[in-house]
Chains A and B, each alone.
Chain A
């Protein structure tokens, strides 16, 4: 950590904070964790039949993997909370996009299903 009392001393472009090694133990732990979750993905895929619950498990596992990749591998855990908030909070917009697009997809399904039924009844009459 360093700061400069006079603005002239601080070179925003070339400033590089001093970083220290935190050892490799945590990194290997993260690796085994990611590998374990991937193997679990593989096992669940064959043990469980396709279902909404299985899909939810896969998505949750994906988020857990994302947490460890960003937190440990990308060192987000060691960064300032300010930075973490600035990068992670805007991703809530993705949730909005997911909601809007899946709603749209579902609406298209309804539309098609409705039309197909209508076409069928007309043919049968």
Chain B
């Protein structure tokens, strides 16, 4: 039935049944709707970050919001150098690159080229794993400096520190180590872990989905099916993860 022209398609009543009103497969439509709901989830997390930052005031226990440049200024094998934004830019580059290989896999799928799909899916998986490794390094460095879900070494006054200790929190950091930092309230580290962690979990599930799709491609499932629609669905998810990272990068590191 694929010989009908587009004009004939347009003439058909859109919601009268017998056709897909969006000319899209069921699975892809559901993926779009899921991504919309996921966009709401991520935006509520980021907006919460904004609200915390907006409501931040100098009190007896905390001072200003920390300056990201003075905290995320490390780079692997470059110990002791002040290199703000560099590592996270490398992470952004990795994610953009893996997005390109993903979209190339989708394009190869349109040409039913099994070999190319497999190759680009492999590159995408490598990119995802590289990004996750970078994030693990970032987290380890941050935790090593005293960041915890329930406390923040970055931005606490002496009074705040003494109070935290008197109620049993914050025993993992020393005041002497905390003073050379710019200051901020407790949710700073907590929000970082929750938002980048939620994003990292999306990357992780994206890598798992990509591995499953890679194995299915290698076993010729899509070749037998006659189309590589599944690559497109996995691709939509993967690009969405990239999209979210754009905003995490903007709000956590740039601003």
Write the residues of chain A forming the contact surface with B, with a CB cutoff of 8 angstroms.
1-7, 9-10, 12-24, 27-28, 31, 34-35, 38, 41-42, 45-46, 55, 58-59, 61-62, 65-66, 69-70, 72-75, 79-80, 82-83, 86-87, 90-91, 93-94, 97-98, 101-102, 104-109, 112-113, 116
Contacts and interface: CB of A to CB of B under 8 A. Distances in A.
Contacts of A28: 100
B145 interface: no
A70 to B, nearest CB: 7
A82 B208 CA distance: 31
A82 B12 contact: no
B218 interface: no
A101 B47 contact: yes
Nearest to B227: A16
29 contacts: A1-B4, A4-B18, A9-B1, A15-B20, A15-B26, A16-B25, A17-B23, A17-B24, A23-B107, A24-B104, A27-B103, A31-B97, A31-B99, A34-B96, A41-B254, A45-B84, A46-B85, A58-B254, A59-B250, A62-B250, A66-B247, A72-B103, A73-B239, A75-B106, A94-B43, A101-B51, A102-B54, A105-B52, A109-B54
Interface of B: 1-2, 4-6, 8-9, 12, 14, 17-26, 29, 32-33, 35-36, 39-40, 43-44, 47-48, 50-59, 84-85, 89, 92-93, 96-97, 99-100, 102-104, 106-107, 110-111, 227, 229, 232, 235-236, 239-240, 242-243, 246-247, 249-250, 254-255
Contacts, number: 186
Contacts of A70: 239, 243
A6 B18 CA distance: 6
A27 B9 contact: no
Contacts of A41: 89, 250, 254
A112 to B, nearest CB: 4
Contacts of B18: 3-7, 9-10
B48 A101 contact: yes
A5 B5 CA distance: 14
Given A97-B43, A101-B51, 6 more contacts: A1-B6, A4-B18, A10-B17, A91-B39, A109-B56, A116-B57
Given A1-B9, A35-B96, A69-B239, A104 B51 contact: yes
B239 A74 contact: yes
Contacts of A66: 243, 246-247
Q: What are the 7 tightest A-B residue pairs by CB atom distance, in nearest-first order?
A: A105-B54, A108-B55, A105-B55, A21-B110, A101-B51, A105-B51, A112-B57
Nearest to A59: B250
B23 A69 contact: no
Contact of A13 (B12, B26, B50): B26
B70 to A, nearest CB: 12
- Of A34, A55, A116, chain B has the most CB atoms within 10 Å of the CB of A34
Contact of B36 (A14, A61, A91, A116): A91
B13 to A, nearest CB: 10
Given A69-B239, A102-B50, A1 B23 contact: yes
Contacts of A105: 50-55
B22 to A, nearest CB: 4
B111 A21 contact: yes
B170 to A, nearest CB: 22
B242 A69 contact: yes
